[in-house]
Amino acid sequence: MPDPIWIRWETLTKKQFDAIDRASAVVFVTCSPLEVHGPHLPLGADALEGEGLAERTLRFLPERHAGRTFLKLPFIYAATDGVPQPGTIAFQPSTTIRVLEDMGNSLAAQGFRHVVISNFHGSPRHFLAIETACESVSKARGIQMVSIFSLMLSRLNGQGGSELTEVLGHLPGIVKSDLVGDTHGGLVETSQLLALHPDWVDPDYKQLPRRTVDLWIEETGRPKPATPRGKLASVPSMFEGFKTGIHYFCEETYAGAPAGASAEIGEQILDLLAGRSAEALAEVLDGTLPPEQWHSPYWKLRHVFVNPLAVRFFDLLLNVPRNVR
């Protein structure tokens, strides 16, 4: 069976658009930031990976969905919690929610019933903002609007978080220890970009040393946050972890071991993640996965992460630099 075909929304004529069966079509859009990813990756890395994940997901969808039309909207970069470095474009979670709600309501009003938001930005405030918008539109309009990234996180290890040591450590070519602390611009993201857009990766990535928050803490003598690895931490522990992460990324631009990356590893990562995403998306489209299971493990903490008053309060406590608020 050939891979399903993307149709780029912006290329359609009115005649072509009117011929689409909107009730069965699936609209994809990626919502990820423009942010610094080390000295070696493009600023749009998260958006490019989100689009790559979405496109790869279609390859693994069951044949029963092959007859659907798959529309791709241009990516949205209204995203929160980018690294606090020049080059990052920052938005509040409330902005992300409002943009996606407006988009979803517009699509629903035109008769679309299936909307999928892709993403590859591991900040809980960002993907919970996406989930909040999806929940709002789905309930108000009676459609399926889901965050594929959140579904993937739930299927991988049920714990959330951006570190995938246990999930990817078995793949050929990966040194498992290189994945510890790999949260941004490291082996995982560099490998995916080498597979998706190798011309946009600076070849000097092979010379970059392994850098992690834990190594930085040891070097600077800072206290280590009491965040249990691989578990959904308490709110105070997560607060301390975020605060440490913000301070780290004020000085550093990546976390991980990009020198161990390769296009071959990137292909394997994309296939694994897309396969899990396709399983969940097929269940959504079939109507067998109930809406209460469309969320990431962090969903129960959404009021702490995306409530506007809570966001302002924590930004002040965390001393978030203004260029990323």
> What is the full DSSP assignment across 251-289?
H-S-BB-GGG--HHHHHHHHHHHHHHHHHHHHHHHHT-S
Does residue 56 belong to any structural domain of this protein?
yes
- Closest of 119, 129, 107 to residue 30, by C-alpha: 119
Q: Identify the weakest region by mean pLDDT among 101-115, 135-149, 154-168, 245-259.
A: 154-168
SS3 assignment, position 62:
coil
- List residues bridging with 31 in a β-sheet: 76
Contacts of 16 (CB under 8 A, 6+ apart): none
Asked whether residue 1 is assigned to any structural domain, the reply reads: no
**What was the pLDDT predicted at 229?**
47
| C-alpha span between 3 and 23 (Å, rounded) | 21
Q: How far apart are CA 301 and CA 238, in angstroms?
A: 11
Number of domains the chain contains: 1
What CATH number did the domain enclosing 214 receive?
3.40.50.10310
Percent of the chain with pLDDT over 70: 90
105, pLDDT greater than 50 = yes
Residue 59 backbone dihedrals phi, psi, to 5 degrees: -65, -25
- What CA–CA distance (Å, rounded) separates 171 from 149? 21
Pairwise CA distance, residues 70 & 57, whole Å: 12
Contact 214, 257 (CB under 8 A): no
Nearest alpha carbon to residue 114 among 76, 87, 148: 148
Rounded to whole angstroms, how far apart are CA atoms 306 and 183? 21
Please list the alpha-helical segments (H only) found in 143-262: 148-156, 165-168, 187-196, 213-220, 235-251
**Sign of the torsion angle spanned by Cα atoms 29, 155, 253, 270:** negative
The string of pLDDT tens digits covering residues 4-22 is 789 999 999 999 999 999 9
Q: Render pLDDT for 88-102 as a digit per residue (tens, 0 to 9).
A: 999 999 999 999 999
Determine which helix (DSSP H) or strand (DSSP E) holds 99, and give its type and residue range: helix 93-109
Rounded to the nearest integer, the mean pLDDT of the chain is 90
State the distance between the two ends of the chain, measured CA to CA, in whole angstroms: 46
Tell whether the model's pLDDT for residue 228 goes beyond 80: no
Q: Is residue 296 part of a domain?
A: yes
pLDDT digits (tens, 9 = 90+) for 165-205: 888 999 999 999 999 999 999 999 999 999 999 999 999 99
Domain membership of residue 124 as a residue range: 6-324
What pLDDT score was predicted for residue 279? 95
Residue 136, pLDDT score: 98
CA dist 39 and 126 (Å) reads 23
- The helix/strand/coil state of 6 is strand
Answer for the pair 145, 227: CB distance below 8 angstroms, yes or no.
no
**Alpha-carbon gap, residue 128 to 301, rounded angstroms:** 9
| pLDDT score at 66 | 87
Residues 63 and 156: their CA atoms lie apart, in Å, by 23
pLDDT at 233: 56
In the sheet that holds 70-72, the strands lie side by side as: 6-8, 70-72, 26-30, 114-118, 144-147
